[in-house]
Structures are given as structure tokens and as C-alpha cells.
Amino acid sequence: MTVSDNVHLHEIHKFGSQAERWWDPNGEFKTLHQVNPLRLEFIQRYADLQGKRLVDVGCGGGILTEGLAKAGADALGVDLSEDLIDIADLHGLETGVTAHYQKISAETLAAEQPASFDHVTCMEMLEHVPDPASIIQACATLVKPGGMVFFSTLNRVPKAYLLAIVAAEHVLKMVPKGTHEYKTFIQPAELSQMARNVGLELQGMIGIEYSPFTKEFRLGKDIDVNYIAAFQRPE
Ligand code: SAH
């Protein structure tokens, strides 16, 4: 598989076609807006962001990338959707938050700039690519020795099917229909193994739990649906 093969173009078009609504806090990507403070909190448990160089892989319209920049990081967001890179740039101009964006694959960036970033984030992206292990490898290459790499994804267990697809897409309509496909979900043990294979060491994992009663997300022990993991590239 070549670098340019590790992409489902239909995924890029699906997300890109919704670029203009990316920053609507009550729109299709409301969920990403809601979970953003939680993932920033988790990231900062392991990584000091102030003055640090970060890359956010599969950044979309830049919701997390801007959050990283606001927390003091020199943040670069990369994605293969031109429309989303444009929206991310535009939003940065509107808000005055200085993050940088580039349309480039994780693998190409890793070949160009190995061991160049203090920390790496890659959220809600692995389940949208043909070969997640290749993205994980690229992230491990991008980070400096001693730096952290964060991944979030969905767990491939029936509960995630019921909550992330049946409930979130069809019943509660929290995310657009067709956003996720169950077979692409990744179990925590699989994520850990793929990361271990490229020399990353697991430091911690946490669930992003949703309460249908309060309609709010929180960090918690339940990693059966959506979860974030923190890995370190050893010194
Ligand atoms: N990480 C962002 C966006 C998640 S949506 C956030 O959590 O806020 C998934 C993103 O992955 C989309 O922006 C999509 O364009 C991007 N993506 C999918 N396949 C990709 C690939 N092979 N390389 C880079 N980005 C990709």
C-alpha cells in the first residue's frame, strides 16, 4: 500500500461536504464541540502544551487544533479535505487563534518531518481510514522521543453499535446518518497492540461517556463506546 492509498475518498468527501457547518455549535458536529473541552482536559493531564509544537492529524475544521493553540501550543492541523482545511484557516482568521493548517497525509508529513513534534493528537479519525496502523505508525514517527501521542476512536463492541450508530445517528440524531460504520471501530486492545508495534507505550485510557438524561458528555471509566488513549514514545 502506498501512502496515497491510505484514504477512503468517500470519507473525505462526506466530511468535506459538511465543512461550512463545522463550526455551528448546534449543527451536525455538535458532538465534537461538546467533547472538545473533555479531550483537552485529558490531553493536558499528560502533556504541557505551553509553547509546545503539536500536530493534530485528521483535524477537520480545527475544533481541537484551535483548542490546542488556545492552550498555548504552536499547533499544526493536517487533513486531506481541502474544504475543511479552508474552513479551519478561515475560522482561525475570524477568531484570531493562530493555528496552522496543511492539506497533507500523516504518512507524507511523517516522511518530511520525523521526530519534529512535542506531542501528536489524532481524534475520531482512525475509524475512517483503510489502514489505521499506518496512521498510528506515522504519528509515532512524527513525535519526538519522550513526547505523547493521543488517539480517540470508537470501540467495536455491540454497545458501541447501539449507542454510537443506532442511538446517535438514528434515534437521537446527534450525528449525521452514515457517519460511522461498525466494522471500522477499534477495540482498545487492538489500538494498544498497533501502538506497541511501533514502539509507543500506553500511559492511560479514558471513556467519553454520554448521558441521555443530562445530554452531556463526561470523562469516565466506560470505554465501551468512545474512548481516548494516551501513549508515549520512549526517550
Ligand atoms: N479530528 C477532528 C475531526 C474528526 S472527523 C475532530 O475530532 O474534531 C474525521 C476527519 O478525518 C475528517 O476531517 C476527515 O477529512 C479526516 N480524514 C479521513 N481520512 C483521512 C486521511 N486518510 N488523512 C487525513 N485526514 C483524514
Tell the burial category of 12 from Cβ atoms under 10 Å away from its Cβ (0-12, 13-18, 19+).
Answer: middle
Residue 106: which of 90, 87, 126 has the closest Cα? 126
Q: Tens digits of per-residue pLDDT, 81-98?
A: 999 999 999 999 999 999
> pLDDT tens digits for 34-82?
999 999 999 999 999 999 999 999 999 999 999 999 999 999 999 999 9
Backbone angles phi, psi at 147, to 5 degrees: -85, 165
Q: For ligand 1, pick from 65, 86, 128 the residue to mutate: most ligand atoms within 8 Å of CB.
A: 128
* Angle value at C-alpha 61, between 209 and 106, nearest 5 degrees: 90
Q: What percent of the chain is predicted at pLDDT more than 90? A: 95
The pLDDT of 116-133, averaged and rounded, is 98
For residue 212, what pLDDT band results from cuts at 50, 70 and 90? Answer: confident
CATH number listed for the domain at residues 3-154+183-232: 3.40.50.150
In the reported structure, the alpha carbon of residue 163 is separated from the centroid of ligand 1 by a whole-number distance in angstroms of 21
Q: How far is the CA of 235 from the centre of ligand 1 (A)?
A: 29
Q: What is the mean pLDDT of the chain?
A: 96
If pLDDT is split at 50, 70 and 90, which confidence band does 1 have? very low
Q: Is 3 in the pocket of ligand 1 (CB under 6 A)?
A: no
With a 6 Å cutoff on the Cβ, whether 84 touches ligand 1 is: yes
70 Cα to the center of ligand 1, angstroms:
21
Written as one string, the DSSP assignment of 48-106 is --TT-EEEEET-TTSHHHHHHHHTT-EEEEEES-HHHHHHHHHHHHHHT---EEEE--H
For residue 46, how far is its CA from the centre of ligand 1 (angstroms)?
23
Q: Which residues contact 160 (CB under 8 A, 6 or more apart)?
A: 154, 182, 185, 224, 225, 226
- What pTM was estimated for this model as a whole? 0.97
Does residue 154 have its Cβ closer than 6 Å to ligand 1? no
- Give the β-pairing of 201-211 and 216-220: antiparallel
Q: What are phi and psi of 92, to 5 degrees?
A: -60, -40
Per-residue pLDDT at 2 exceeds 60: no
